[in-house]
Amino acid sequence: MKALFIGGIKSGKSLNAEAYILKLTQHKPLYLATTEFFDEEMQKRVQQHQKQRAQRFVTQEEGVDIYTVIKQHEGAVLVECVSMWINNMLYHGRDFQQIQEEMHRILSLDKEMVFVLNDVGSGVIPENALAREFIDISGKISQQIAQGCDEVYHCIASIATKIK
């Protein structure tokens, strides 16, 4: 079983994804945290997520090579969040083709996975070329993940609506 939770920032997608994967498995799932710490504000956001999930998950942090982490873990995996992973991949010099190939490898794994992804395609086209590249890649990767998942949920105001 693979599922995607997509929505805007602070839409409740993380809470819904956490509850979903906890119902999916009898064992503590892996919480694969992809955020790399660049500033104090981001550190505070991460600390809030850590409090939120408490002791219900086994947490591992990896910002780039998530395929290896997922492959090595025997149980269910929550990838939080794909948007940050895409950001990290671009920051570390990976291009769209490399990101797409890595996601293909991840989706090919035979294991229970839940993905969290920001819906960044509902806004205006930014004037910044890097921001446009991020939005384009994120949109294409979200399509790839949605096609590879059994279920897809769109989150608004902490309400998850099943769309696939």
Active site (annotated) includes residue 49 = yes
Active-site entry in 49, 73, 92, 154: 49
Longest dimension (CA), the chain: 47
User: Which amino acid belongs to residue 134?
Assistant: F
Asked whether residue 56 carries a pLDDT value surpassing 70, the answer given is yes
- Backbone φ and ψ for 10, nearest 5 degrees, come out as 65, 30
Report the pLDDT value the prediction gives residue 131, as an integer from 0 to 100.
86
Q: Kind and range of the H or E element at 138?
A: helix 129-148
- Which of the four pLDDT bands, split at 50, 70 and 90, describes residue 49? low
Q: Where are the domains of the chain?
A: 2-162
Report the pLDDT value the prediction gives residue 53, as an integer from 0 to 100.
63
- Which of the four pLDDT bands, split at 50, 70 and 90, describes residue 123? confident
Distance in Å from the first CA to the final CA of the chain: 13
Q: Which fold has domain 2-162?
A: Rossmann fold (3.40.50)
Asked whether residue 6 carries a pLDDT value surpassing 80, the answer given is yes
Average pLDDT over residues 127-140: 92
